Amino acid sequence: MDLNTFFKVGYGMYIISSKLGDKYNGQIANAVMQVSSDPPLFTAGINNNNLTCKYIKDTGYFSVSVLSEESDMKFIGKFGFKSGKNIDKFLDTEYIISDTKIPVITENTVAYLVCKLINTVDVGTHCVFIGEAIEAKVLNDKTPLTYKYYREVLRGKSPKTAPTFIKTNKHVNEIKQKESKMSKYECTVCGYVYDPAEGDPENGIKAGTAFEDLPDDWVCPDCGVGKEDFEKLED
């Protein structure tokens, strides 16, 4: 089976948000689609381990923000690679509260929906939420971000909890740590560790390249933020 086939399936890029009590959380999702028009039903696939999954089950509502192509990787990284268990993603993000009291991210957003949960299907690693759109609004005329654009232009990857994550040799090799006198650096957005002993061969960086010698336009191969968002790891 050719797993690259899976990347030929088209998706958009969204932030799904919900709440639990007075706590808000949201996360990037690509598995969102409309499945009927009368009533207008949408599905959203969310990893069972993610905080947003728990929040939607508890509250019975979720919002879908359709992201703009102008979204930068730091913004996507915050919602796609960081957990609401560790940070408050809404602290420095533009959002509104819908009539249902559910938060809706409006930053880098083209349009949004608020859905009332109708049904939930547990598919093992993920839950598929089926919701009826009860609010819908277009915010601007910007171009919606597609998953293809995210991967090919923004050079974004899938976090391990995404339905589209595919394990590559690189992930397997990450387990094998090599000795090196040069320091490793960790991405503060997604946790990727740059190991000079490994380099970043997929992006043309040879093994043995010090972090300091990486080109200025080098970006985190997992979430796409620049070198300035890396911190040196203590040896």
d(CA 14, CA 7): 17
Is 200 one of the binding residues for Fe ion (CB under 5 A)? no
Task: Using the minimum distance from each CB to Fe ion, give the nearer residue, 32 or 190.
Answer: 190
Toward Fe ion, which CB reaches closer, 112 or 185?
A: 185
Choose the stretch contacting Fe ion; rule: CB under 5 A; options: 89-97, 109-117, 175-183, 190-198: 190-198
Contact 114, 96 (CB under 8 A): no
CB of 45 to Fe ion, least distance (A): 23
Can you tell me the distance from the alpha carbon of 55 to that of 17, in angstroms, rounded to the nearest whole number? Answer: 9
Mark residues 57-96: x for contact with Fe ion by CB under 5 A, - for none.
----------------------------------------
CA-angle at 140, arms to 53 and 152, nearest 5°: 65
Cβ-defined contacts of 214-221 (< 8 Å, 24+): 219/73, 219/155, 220/73, 220/77, 220/187, 220/189, 220/190, 220/192, 220/194, 221/155, 221/157, 221/192
Which residue's CB is nearer to Fe ion, number 13 or number 189? 189
Nearest to 29 by CA among 150, 139, 173, 183: 150
Q: By CB under 5 A, which span of 55-63, 108-116, 127-135, 187-195 interacts with Fe ion?
A: 187-195
Which residues are within 8 A (CB) of 135 and not within 5 positions of it... i.e. 6 or more apart? 98, 99, 100, 112, 113, 114
Number of residues that bind Fe ion (CB under 5 A): 7
* Six token digits for residue 196: 């000079």
Binding mask 23-62 for Fe ion (x = CB under 5 A): ----------------------------------------
- Pick between residue 43 and residue 108 the one whose CB is nearest to Fe ion: 108
Select the residue interacting with Fe ion from 15, 110, 205, 223 (CB under 5 A).
Answer: 223
Residue 220 in the binding site for Fe ion (CB under 5 A): yes
Residues that bind Fe ion (CB under 5 A): 187, 189-190, 192, 220, 222-223
